[in-house]
Structure 1
Amino acid sequence: MSQEAIPQLAAYNDAALDAAFAALSQELDASAQSLTSAEAVESFRLHWLGRKQGRLKAISEAWLKSAPVEAKKQIGQRFNQLKAEIEQRLESASTGTGSGALDAEAIDITLPGTRRALGAEHPLIKTMHEMVAVFQRMGYSVGVGPEVETDYYNFESLNFPPGHPARDTQDTLVVANQERKPLRDRLLMRTHTSPVQIRTMEQQPPPVRIVIPGKVHRNDAADATHSPIFHQIEGLCVDTNITFSDLKGTLDHAMKEFFGSNVKTRFFPSFFPFTEPSADVQISCPFCGGKGCRKCKHSGWIELLGCGMVNPAVFGFVQQKQPAYDPKKISGFAFGMGVDRIAMMKYGVSDIGQFYSGDTRFLEQFA
């Protein structure tokens, strides 16, 4: 748009001022008819509102600054009205509501939006989701809980008595400056996802069937097979007449679902404070079919998880808040396994630290 000269005001009375600003309004209406593209809108804005050569700036210098004091108010009011009209025309053009709307630039809201490309799941998270899905298909719900736990939920309620080796700071990462609190209230980083079992039973009566995936922390030196941060999946089933046979059948089915229908399971006596009796579970090597290979150390079997029947002492702690957990009337089983170790087996990874290195060159191969 070419800039036209600003005419001088003949007088400063209301009639003269109304006529002068009416002429500017007509000029504004005419120039607003060209607002049919983004370039035209920008040209219109610069023509009227430009800081150096804009029409409003020129009007202000020609009329407002040189006007007598008694006329400045009347000119200023009309000047502000003209500026508001200009801004309204620009807003209408931008939102598509005015006669000069940017029809060519209008957004078709029926078109699909631009989607941000999603990355692939981390191999640990992918493995954990696959394992959880196996138990969900068996009717288990997913339980979650805090990673910063109290000593009570992490140890005491799970039948770890005071003085148990697992409570030692050589095995457990504890929060500093907790010495003044009672032992059961002291905070630490959970060493297993078992506290979620207690919290769940306290909140709901039996029957309970939950699977608990999550991150846990232990005071372990990092090496090829150990990390101070790793992941676990635990399960809990509590109801009337739950037996060890139910436990064996559940885990045998889950291992076949995850590793293949040809996988076999076997149980060996073990010890855990929160289960009695307890067992370690081995599966036949899914890589060699039980014939013996490097991954199973040529034994044909791989030790994978721990399990057992819930210790009645654990139900005793839960009864303090949920009386329905009477060990004389109900029973249950629990199990737990390490996600990282299973992912290492599944993907043939020899160093657990690679999962936590953040090296995209390593992680991309599992996408």
Structure 2
Amino acid sequence: MPAPDELVTLYSDKVAKAGDLAALDAVRVEALGKQGEITQLLKTLGKMDPDTRKAEGPKIQGARMAVADAIEARKAALENEALEARLASEKLDLSLPVDETPLGSVHPVSQVMDELSEIFADMGFAVAEGPEIEDDWHNFEALNIPEAHPARAMQDTFYLATGEEGAPPVLRTHTSPVQIRTMMREQPPIRIIAPGRVYRSDSDATHTPMFHQVEGLVIDRNIHMGHLKWTLETFLKAFFERDDIVLRLRPSYFPFTEPSAEVDVGWSQVKGRRVVGGSEGWMEVLGSGMVHPKVIANCGLDPDVWQGFAFGCGIDRLAMLKYGMDDLRAFFDGDLRWLKHYGFGMLDTPTLSAGVGA
């Protein structure tokens, strides 16, 4: 059997001449495999006397390590050569279209909020926000709804536990507290809309415990109902993208407006579906009125100098009317099939509105 140093010379030469990974692996098996020469030489150590084993063991182990290191080095070199050859021969055609990447969808409620913001921005309104957990004063008292007022029974309120004395905080039942906070923070003239989430303990096909509402407020000198009607008519024409919008204001009651009016809009049948526009019938879409003098006074303004109007409607209901949805509860079910059907692609959303005056 060849000596260890001879085996190192022999297999180092074979390793250097291996032209590919397959040939290199064959050399590894020949030298270090179960029946390889160096492996067989290692097996002879058990038959040697202690002194001979002590002298020959390091030489054989050194030969094994030297050949193994040579194989690893040659393997790395061959892999690098293979990679260089692949990079030189393969091409990536950047002109080919890539596979479509799944994109998220814009929820119809978010879409309608964007439309509302755009339309009212064209009319000079700013967007105002406020907390969703409100105190009793902002949610009720300042809006002319004292503790014993029967109007509190009109809103099924979520009350939150509190360790403090006094009325507990509530999940806001409307976005009207934003109007109060704005009037107390800013000096007139004021033109704002307040979109956001609101909460009432109610659930059926047309009501959910959490829903979205937008309210509008204008405070200025010499404001009257004519300004309110023009604003709502202009908004609805732009939102529904129809010029044949007809409004009807019916006397109503809200504690924070006087006089108050429900706003009905004309509808017509199109391909068996009721759509907003025309005058075949009427449907209620908004509540509105002139801001009550007590509300203006509660915010530190003089009602003899400043007047205003306010209006409010459900954003979810507006989405249902414009985009043909029939069940409010589906907005919050988290069903991706529903969102795929009704949602708007982030890159191909429809025109936000017809535009004011379009």
Look up the match of 1:302. Answer: 283
**What's 2:339 paired with?**
363
Q: In structure 2, do the counterparts of structure 1 residues 359 and 162 end up closer, same or farther at CA, with 3 Å as the change threshold?
A: same
Question: Partner letter of residue 162 of structure 1?
Answer: E
What's the CA shift string for 1:289-348, capped at 9, x where partnerless? 8x996568x9611110000000000011101xxxxx210111000000001111112222
Instruction: Structure 1 unaligned segments of length 5 or more: list them.
Output: 1-115, 320-324
Q: Which residue of 2 aligns with 1:150?
A: 135
* Deviation (angstroms), 1:262: 1.2
| Partner residue of 2:327 out of 330, 351, 361 | 351
Pair 1:248 & 2:229 matched: yes
Preserved contact between residue 256 and residue 264 of structure 1 (Cα < 8 Å): no
Q: TM-score, normalised by structure 1?
A: 0.62
Runs of 4+ in 1 over 6 A off after TM superposition: none
The aligned amino acid for 2:194 is I
1:266 partnered with 2:248: yes
Distance 2:334 2:280 in 1: 34
2:114 and 2:275 mapped to 1: Cα distance?
A: 23
1:218 positional shift: 0.4
SS at match of 2:295: helix
5 Å matches for 1:305-320?
Answer: 305-319=286-300
- Alpha-carbon distance between aligned partners in 1 of 2:222 and 2:269, rounded to the nearest angstrom: 38
**2:115 corresponds to 1:134:** no
CA positional deviation for 1:213 = 0.4
Residue 266 of structure 1 deviates from its aligned partner by 1.2
Partner of 1:218: 200
Taking the aligned partners of 1:166 and 1:357, their CA distance within structure 2 comes to 31
Rg: which structure is higher?
2
Q: Distance in 2 between matches of 1:197 and 1:362?
A: 34
1:181 shift after superposition: 1.9
Would the aligned equivalents of 2:144 and 2:294 in 1 still touch at CA under 8 Å?
A: yes
Identity of aligned residues (%): 49
Q: Does 1:326 align with 2:302?
A: yes
Cα distance in 2 for residues equivalent to 1:135 and 1:269: 25
1:202 is the counterpart of 2:178: no
State the partner residue of 2:51: none
Aligned residue for 2:201, secondary structure, equals coil
Q: Report the Cα distance in structure 2 between the residues aligned to 1:261 and 1:301, rounded to whole angstroms.
A: 16
Aligned residue number for residue 107 of structure 2: 122
User: Using the alignment, how far apart are the partners of 1:264 and 1:295 within structure 2?
Assistant: 13
Partner Cα separation in structure 2 for residue 130 and residue 295 of structure 1:
18
Residue 181 of structure 1 is aligned with which of 148, 161, 165?
Answer: 165
The 3-state SS of whatever aligns with 1:302 is strand
Is contact 2:155-2:173 (8 Å) kept? no
AA at the equivalent of 1:354: A
TM-score by length of 2: 0.63
In structure 2, what residue type is equivalent to 1:345?
Answer: L
Letter in 1 for 2:149: H
Indicate yes or no: 2:130 matched with 1:161: no
Q: In 2, Cα distance between the equivalents of 1:246 and 1:295? A: 26
1:170–1:213 Cα change, 3 Å: closer
For the pair 1:276 / 2:252, whether they are aligned, the reply is no
**Are positions 1:236 and 2:217 aligned together?**
yes
Equivalent residue for 1:65? none
Q: Within 1, Cα distance between the matches of 2:154 and 2:195?
A: 24
CA distance 1:294–1:254, change in 2 (3 Å): closer
Query: Is the partner of 2:330 in helix, strand or coil?
Result: helix
List gaps (5 residues or longer) in structure 2. 1-100, 345-358
CA distance in 2 between counterparts of 1:169 and 1:332 reads 24
In the TM superposition, residue 170 of structure 1 has moved relative to its aligned partner by 7.4
- Matched AA of 2:288: C
Q: Which has the higher contact order (CA 8 A, sep 6+)?
A: 2
Shift of 1:132: 2.2
Change in Cα spacing, 1:154 to 1:139, as seen in structure 2 (3 Å) is same
Q: 1:195/1:364 Cα in 2 relative to 1: closer, same or farther (>3 Å)?
A: same
CA distance in 1, matches of 2:233, 2:179: 22
Matched residues, number = 242
Residue identity in the other structure for 1:156: E
1:137/1:118 Cα in 2 relative to 1: closer, same or farther (>3 Å)?
farther
Per-residue deviation, 1:161: 1.5
Quote the Cα distance in structure 2 between the aligned partners of 1:208 and 1:272.
21
Cα distance in 1 for partners of 2:272, 2:252 equals 24
